[in-house]
Amino acid sequence: MKENLSLLRFTTAGSVDDGKSTLIGRLLYDSKSIFEDQLDHITESSRRRGKEEVDLSLLTDGLKAEREQGITIDVAYRYFATPRRKFIIADTPGHIQYTRNMVTGASTADMALILVDARNGVVEQTIRHTYIAHLLDIRYIVFCINKMDLTDYSNEVFSKLRADLKALAVKLEVPHPYFLPISAKLGDNVVDRSENMPWYEGPTLLELLETVEINGNGQAVPARFPVQYVIRPLSADYPDYRSYAGRVAGGSFRRGEKVVALPAGLGSTIKSIDTFNESHDTVAPGESVAIVLDDDIDISRGDMIVPADAVPELKSDIVARICWFSEKPMVLNGKYLLRHTGSEVRCVIREVIFRLNVNTVERDTVNKEVKMNDIARISIRTAKPLFTDPYIVNHTTGSFILIDEGTNNTVAAGMII
C-alpha cells in the first residue's frame, strides 16, 4: 500500500500564527486548486474584515468561531491534486488547548509539515508537535522555516535554525527530516522557486511533496486480519456462506494459507478471499475483503486471523505511550474502556511510569499527574488479553484509544511499546 503512493496524506503543525493555514492557502492557490467562487468568497470576506490583501487562511478556517478569532480550532481537511500525485491535507490547530485535534489530524498522516517562524526560532509548540509526530511514528518531517521575508531572506537565520532543528530531529530520532526556507504569505519556495533566496538549492515544498518516496521502516510486518463483521447471508442463493469481513492490517494473505483464529487458537486454511462478486488469490495491506475459511470455527468481531507461524503477543499487561485528551486528569487505578481494533475491553491504569516534559523532552518521574495534553508512559491491565504488536511495527494492532465510560468521550490515544 505504501509503495509508489499516488496518494499522500500529510498534516501541518506549528505554533499559533506561524502561518499554517496561510501556507495551505498558498499551496492551493499557487497550484491552481482554488476555485473561482471560493476565491471570490474569501476576497469578499477579507475586505469585510478590513484587510488589504486576500487572507488565504480563510480558506481552511471553516468554523464561524475560527474566523471570528482568526485561529484554527479543529482539523480541516483539504484536497488537491497535481498530475503527479493526489494530496490529503490535515490542517491542524497550533494552540496547546487543541492538541487533541492536532493528534487527530496527524494520526492518519504519512508526512508532517512543521512550521517555524524564522523570527522566533524553536518554541515550545515546535518541540511538542515534532514530538507528537515522532510519537505517532510519522517518519517524514518537513520543517518549513516560514516568514523568511521578515528576516530579509537571510541565509544566516535559516542556517542557525536548521542547526537547532537538526539537533531536535537527532534527539527525537526522526529518520527523514527536511528543512525549507519559505514565505507562505508571499509564496517563496512553496510552489514557485524563490528569487529572493538564491543561496537555497533544495526543492520547493511542492516538489518535495510530489517526489518524496514514503516507505515503511524496512521491517517485515507480519500479516494481521482483525475481524470487523461476520457476513452470513442465510439466503436461498447462499444458504451456508460465512465470511469474515475486515481490512488487512499489515502483511498479506493468500488462498490456501494456514492461519490461526485468535483468541480461540484454532487453525484453519484460507478457502477464499472475497470482494463483490470476485474471489482473489492474495490480498495486500489496507484492502477491505472478506475471508472464508475451510473449517467452521467460532469467530466474531474483535477476533483476529493471523498466519500460523507469526502469531502476535497475547497480553493483559500493556505498556504504552499515551497522549491524554480530557479536561479531567487521568485517574490512577481508575477504570476505562479500551478499544483496540474491533474489540472493546475494560482496563485499569496501574502505573504512570513517567510523564514527558515537552519543553526539554525529558522524563519526569516526580510529578506524574497526567493532565490534558500530557504525554506519558503508563502501564495498563486489561480485563481480557489483547493480541498486540508494538506500534512501530504495526500501527493498527499497536494502537488503542481509551474511553471514559461515564461520558463516552475518547480521553486518550495509546501506542503500545
Partner 1 sequence: MTLDINSRHLRDLENEAIYVMREVAAQFENPVILFSGGKDSIVLVHLAKKAFWPMKIPFRLLHVDTGHNFEETLVFRDNLVKELGVELIVASVQESIDNGRVTEEKGYNASRNKAQSISLLDKLEQLKIDVAIGGGRRDEEKARAKERFFSHRDEFGQWDPKNQRPELWNIFNGRKHPGEHFRVFPISNWTELDVWQYILTDKVELPSLYYTHRRKIFKRDGVFLAWAPFMMLKPGEEVIETDVRCRTIGDITCTGVTLSKADNLEDIIAEIAATRVTERGGRYDDKRSEAAMEERKREGYF
3-state secondary structure of 33: coil
368 with 356: CB under 8 angstroms? no
Residues in the chain: 417
**Minimum distance between the CB of residue 394 and partner 1, rounded to whole angstroms?**
11
**Minimum distance between the CB of residue 328 and partner 1, rounded to whole angstroms?**
14
Beta carbon nearer to partner 1, 4 or 360: 4
How many CB atoms lie under 10 A from the CB of residue 68? 10
| Cis, peptide link before residue 307, omega less than 30° from 0 | no
**Minimum distance between the CB of residue 362 and partner 1, rounded to whole angstroms?**
25
Q: Is the dihedral of CA 51, 56, 59, 61 positive or negative?
A: negative
Beta carbon nearer to partner 1, 287 or 294: 287
Beta carbon nearer to partner 1, 307 or 398: 398
Return the residue matching grid coordinates 478457502.
271
Beta carbon nearer to partner 1, 85 or 193: 85
**Minimum distance between the CB of residue 325 and partner 1, rounded to whole angstroms?**
5
**Minimum distance between the CB of residue 203 and partner 1, rounded to whole angstroms?**
21
- Cα–Cα distances in angstroms (integers) from residue 396 to residues 224, 294, 304, in the given order: 9, 26, 12
Beta carbon nearer to partner 1, 17 or 287: 287
Q: Which residues contact 334 (CB under 8 A, 6 or more apart)?
A: 348, 349
Residue in 17, 167, 24, 157 with CA at minimum distance from that of residue 89: 24
Beta carbon nearer to partner 1, 81 or 170: 81
**Minimum distance between the CB of residue 87 and partner 1, rounded to whole angstroms?**
10
Buried b (16+ CB within 10 A) or exposed e, 117-130: bbeeebeebbbbbb
